[in-house]
Structure 1
C-alpha cells in the first residue's frame, strides 16, 4: 500500500502536487506576458488551502475579509496582526504550490515604514510570500521601503475595505473624471514604487482596463471587469456560503457543481478562459 508523503513544515519549501508547477512571482509575470489570466481566491485555513492549490488556483490570499466571513464582524477593521499571522501559518501549512499573499490588517502599517516592515516580517515569517496593503498616495513610500527590503508587495486601489467609513460605504470608486484620474495617478505611483501586483476593487471596467494596460505589474480585478490580468473572489462568496445579498460581481460557482472542488475548478477554468467575469453581469460602467 502506498501512502502520500505529507508536505514538509513551512521552511522546507512547498512540494506541489503531481503535474503542478510551483507558482512564483517570476511565473506570475510570465503568465501576464503570455496573456494567461491569474486565478486567485481567499483562503483562511489549511484544508481550504490544500483544496484550492490542488484545484489549480494560482494565488491564495489570506484576506482580512476573514474578519467578516470567519469572525462575524461587520467590517475588516477589528482583525489584528496576530490573527492574520495565525491564519497565514494555517494556509502555508496546507499550501504546496500556490503563491501566498497575506493582508496587512488595519493599524499594522498606517504608522509608517518602521511599523510596516515589522508587520510584514511577522506575516512573512508565518509563511506569506507577499503582503498586501490598501490605498494610494501615502502608501507609495511604504511600498518602496518594503520592496527595497526584499518583501514583495501587492497594492489595492478602488474600494478599500479598511477605509470603508471614509469612503461612505461599499460604493463603486472612480466613476467621475476627477476620481478616475486620482486612481490612475495612484496606480502609477505604486507601480513606480515596485508593487508587483495591484488589486482593483469595485471600479468601472474601462478604468480598470486603462490602468491595467499601463501598469508594470499584474492587476487583479474584483468587480473591475474582465480586462485585468487576473481575478479574485472571496471563497465563501463564490461558494454561496456567505449569508445575505452578495455584490453583483460575485458568481455562485456552486450552482450546478457536484462538489466544492468542482466549483473551484470551474472558477479557475472560467477565469483562464475569460468566461468570468461576464462584463454584462458582473462589470460596472462609469
Structure 2
C-alpha cells in the first residue's frame, strides 16, 4: 500500500484510531447503519453488480452490500487500517462469505481494475482523503461507463448536535484545538456542498446530487456508554486525547458530559441530533 499520500490518516487508523473504533464497533455498527443504508439505497445497488466499499472498516457495510448484490455480484472492501481489516476478514471467513474480498489499500492511489465496477460506495470514509479530487479521479477510473458513486458524509458541525454538545462540554475544561481548515482531511471536511460538487466535477463525475438528511444519532445504548464513546471518539474525543488531559480533568469532563446527555436518553438509547449529506454522482 502506498502510504505517502495520506500518511497521517494511515498512522491514525493503524494506531489509536483503529484501536478505539474496535472498542466501540458493536455500537457504531448499529448507530451508523441507517446512514449507510440511505447511501446504498441512493446508489440503487442491485443483484449481480460489482461494488467497491471505500473505508470499509470492520466490514459491516461490505456484508450488507454483498447481501444486496447476491451470489452473482462481488464486493471489494478497501481500508487503510490493518486492524479493522483483520476483524473484517475474520468475520468473512467465519461466515463463509465468498462474494467479498478485503484489501489493505489507500483508495486514493490503489490501482483498481479499470472499468470493472458498477458502484463506488462509502459510509463516512471519503472525508479522510488527503487529495480528494485525485482520489475520486482514481475511483472513477475503476467504474464502468455510467457507473455510480454514492456516499454518506457529515454536514458541518453546527448542524450536528452530537458534535456541538460534546465540544461545548470539553470547552469548559480544556482549550479546544483550532478547527480544521476546509481542505484538511477529517470527519467534517465534506460538509460544504460547493466544495464537494467542485471535487466531484474536477474528478470527472456528472449528475451530482446532495440530499440533506437530519435525524438522530444514537451515541450509545445507555448514558455510561454514550459518555465513554463521546469522550473517546469524534471531535470531542480527539480534543481530549490531543490535550493530554490528566485523569482528574477527564473525570470532570465525563461527569459534565453525563449531565448534558441526560435529557437525550430514550428507550432506544442516547439519541442526539445529527445531519448528513447523501451524495450521488455518475461516471
Q: TM-score, normalised by structure 1?
A: 0.31
Larger Rg: 2
Higher strand share: 2
Compare the two structures and name the one with the higher helix fraction. Answer: 2
